[in-house]
């Protein structure tokens, strides 16, 4: 649930960016919306066991899309938010092996502009699973233990040198406990722990009794070409439900030490191809052996839009390196590119069937609107659409004319 931010623009670039934003808003025929007054949610975090709290607060929109996180200082929290409904989650930061750890606590809050709403939070001791892991009949030092529930929440610890482990702070519910041998030699079925109640601890024994096998999977696009790039995929055992995640590179991915049997792959969206979950073709892992003949294919490609940009002056001269963007009807940017030397562009990605798309064309970024068309001139942005697209199909658009920046406040500036 983290995000990555790249701050590379200097002050001069910021001025140009603001200018481009103004052009974009003009092209879209909209005005920047006024920022709604924020509201505030405050409250006290109360620990049922007493003592000093170490809690982190995370907040999400009402659909559980992650928005941010911060540590709670002491036992009071305060958070400013735009009007709307939010989910707040409070997580005990003590280590997972602490069986007295609090379970996560969730609250839902509706914030109004300029208002303050109070929501106190009570942290309660979670359930715990403890036990010992053995691999090939011996204590599995450093084994990885994952407890996963039906809500797709997972909690992970490592066993100590004697194979002992404890997973605390668990929400009430039933869990499948998956175990991974640190030496990548032994595997075993998951252990099911049903009906854990808040504050209850259950001790289990985990035994890895089979030698693992390995699997090499060839990754292909729907057209049969190699899926390039570096990304993570997950293989799920059809026999046990246990899952292994590995990094894919150069069109293939290798999984060591798998439980024998067939596998399903959970693959993310990559490039123009949508995420897919399906069986791995030809996967038949055997104990102590390597299966090198398996394959997986993405089958659903996104829509793509092609077109070209020309100079308004003569309607034929191509505009190279113009900025081209496509937005959905809600105003979300779906893709961005620059035109090539012939003025052509392709907008693509994981774009599903939809209507109401708008294509926005601006002069080349970082030149203040000046570009070479039929002559060196100052240009402004323009909009084309609405357009409709269909998944897996190309939508060609008419030539888009890039207008000159003329008018009362911006005189035409061209050098023939």
Dihedral pair phi/psi, residue 250, rounded to 5°:
50, 35
Give the Cα separation of 283 and 203 in Å (integer): 35
Q: Please report the pLDDT score of residue 407 as a whole number.
A: 56
User: Which ranges of 58-119 does DSSP label H, i.e. alpha helix?
Assistant: none
Give the Cα separation of 367 and 13 in Å (integer): 10
Q: Is 107 left (phi over 0), alpha (psi -120 to 50) or beta?
A: beta
CB-side neighbour CA atoms (13 Å) of 130: 12
CA 381 vs CA 25, 51, 357: distances in Å: 9, 60, 17
Give the Cα separation of 89 and 67 in Å (integer): 11
Q: Please report the pLDDT score of residue 416 as a whole number.
A: 54
Give the Cα separation of 355 and 364 in Å (integer): 27
For residue 294, list its beta bridge partners: 217
Pairing of strands 304-311, 394-396: parallel
User: Which ranges of 2-138 does DSSP label H, i.e. alpha helix?
Assistant: 11-28
DSSP assigned state of 23: H
Residue 246 · residue 235 · CB < 8 Å: yes
Q: Domains plus CATH for the chain?
A: 39-123 (2.60.40.10), 127-210 (2.60.40.1120), 212-297 (2.60.40.10), 304-415 (2.60.40.1120)
Q: Interior CA angle at 54 toward 49 and 60, to 5°?
A: 110
In order along its 416 residues, the chain shows pLDDT tens digits of: 333 333 333 322 333 333 433 343 333 333 334 456 888 999 999 998 888 889 999 999 988 989 999 999 888 999 999 999 999 999 999 988 899 999 999 999 999 988 899 999 999 999 999 999 999 999 999 999 999 998 878 899 999 999 999 999 999 999 999 999 999 999 999 999 999 999 999 999 999 999 999 999 999 999 999 999 999 999 999 998 889 999 999 999 999 999 999 999 999 999 999 999 999 999 999 999 999 999 999 999 999 999 999 998 888 899 999 999 999 998 999 999 999 999 999 999 999 999 999 999 999 888 878 888 888 888 889 999 899 999 999 999 989 999 988 755 545 567 65
Other residues' Cβ atoms within 10 Å of the Cβ of residue 409? 6
Residue 219 · residue 248 · CB < 8 Å: yes
**Distance from CA of residue 95 to its chain's centroid?**
26
What the block records as the tokens of 318 is 């191509």
Nearest to 167 by CA among 94, 97, 101: 97
Nearest to 90 by CA among 43, 157, 128: 43
Nearest to 395 by CA among 341, 335, 342: 335
Residue 135 · residue 180 · CB < 8 Å: no
What the block records as the tokens of 375 is 């002559």
Give the position of tokens 């929109």.
61
DSSP string, 84-117: EEEEEEEEE-S-TT-TTPBPPEEEEEEE-TT-EE
Q: Please report the pLDDT score of residue 412 as a whole number.
A: 56
Residue 190 · residue 131 · CB < 8 Å: no
What the block records as the tokens of 206 is 């985990």
Q: Please report the pLDDT score of residue 413 as a whole number.
A: 66
Pairing of strands 290-297, 84-92: unpaired
Pairing of strands 323-327, 243-248: unpaired
What the block records as the tokens of 405 is 């920046």
Q: What is the 3-state secondary structure (H, E, C) of 352-367?
A: CCEEEEEEEEECCCCC
Q: Please report the pLDDT score of residue 20 as a whole number.
A: 34
Query: Roughly how many angstroms between the first and final C-alpha of the chain, as a whole number?
Result: 53
Chain segment 317-345, per-residue pLDDT in tens: 999 999 999 999 989 999 999 999 999 99
Exposure string of 351-371, with b = 16+ CB inside 10 Å and e = fewer, is: beeeeebbbbbbbbeeeebeb
Give the Cα separation of 286 and 261 in Å (integer): 7
Give the Cα separation of 9 and 12 in Å (integer): 8
Say how many residues make up the chain: 416
Longest CA span, the chain: 85
Handedness of CA 144, 169, 129, 193 (dihedral sign): negative
């Amino acid at each position: 649930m983290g995000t990555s931010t790249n701050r590379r623009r200097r002050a001069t670039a910021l001025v140009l960016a603001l200018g481009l934003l103004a052009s974009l808003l003009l092209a879209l025929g909209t005005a920047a919306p006024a920022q709604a007054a924020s509201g505030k949610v405050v409250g006290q975090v109360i620990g049922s066991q007493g003592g000093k709290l170490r809690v982190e607060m995370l907040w999400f929109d009402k659909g559980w899309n992650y928005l941010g996180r911060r540590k709670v200082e002491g036992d009071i929290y305060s958070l400013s938010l735009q009007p709307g409904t939010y989910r707040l989650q409070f997580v005990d930061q003590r280590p997972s092996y602490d069986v007295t750890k609090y379970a996560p606590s969730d609250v839902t809050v509706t914030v109004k502009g300029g208002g303050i709403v109070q929501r106190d939070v009570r942290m309660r001791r979670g359930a715990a699973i403890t036990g010992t892991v053995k691999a090939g009949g011996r204590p599995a030092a450093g084994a990885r233990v994952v407890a996963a529930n039906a809500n797709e929440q997972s909690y992970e610890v490592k066993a100590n040198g004697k194979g002992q482990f404890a997973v605390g702070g668990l929400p009430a519910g039933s869990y499948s406990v998956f175990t991974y041998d640190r030496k990548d030699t032994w595997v075993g079925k998951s252990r099911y722990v049903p009906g854990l109640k808040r504050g209850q601890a259950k001790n289990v024994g985990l035994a890895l009794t089979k030698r693992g096998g390995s699997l090499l999977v060839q990754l292909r696009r729907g057209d049969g070409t190699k899926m390039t790039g570096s990304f993570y995929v997950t293989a799920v055992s059809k026999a046990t439900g246990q899952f292994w995640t590995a990094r894919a590179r150069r069109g293939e991915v290798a999984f060591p030490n798998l439980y024998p049997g067939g596998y399903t792959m959970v693959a993310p969206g990559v490039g123009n191809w949508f995420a897919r979950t399906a069986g791995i073709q030809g996967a038949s892992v055997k104990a102590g052996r390597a299966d090198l003949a398996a394959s997986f294919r993405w089958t659903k490609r996104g829509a793509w839009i092609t077109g070209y940009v020309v100079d308004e002056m003569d309607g034929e001269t191509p505009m190279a390196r113009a900025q081209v963007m496509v937005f959905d009807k809600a105003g979300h940017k779906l893709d961005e590119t620059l035109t090539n030397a012939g003025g052509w562009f392709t907008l693509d990605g994981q774009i599903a069937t939809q209507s109401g798309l708008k294509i926005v064309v601006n002069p080349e970024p970082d030149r203040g609107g000046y570009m070479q068309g039929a002559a060196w001139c100052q240009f402004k942005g323009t909009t084309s659409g609405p357009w409709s697209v269909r998944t897996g199909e190309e939508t060609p658009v008419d030539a888009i004319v890039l207008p000159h920046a003329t008018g009362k406040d911006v005189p035409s500036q061209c050098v023939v």
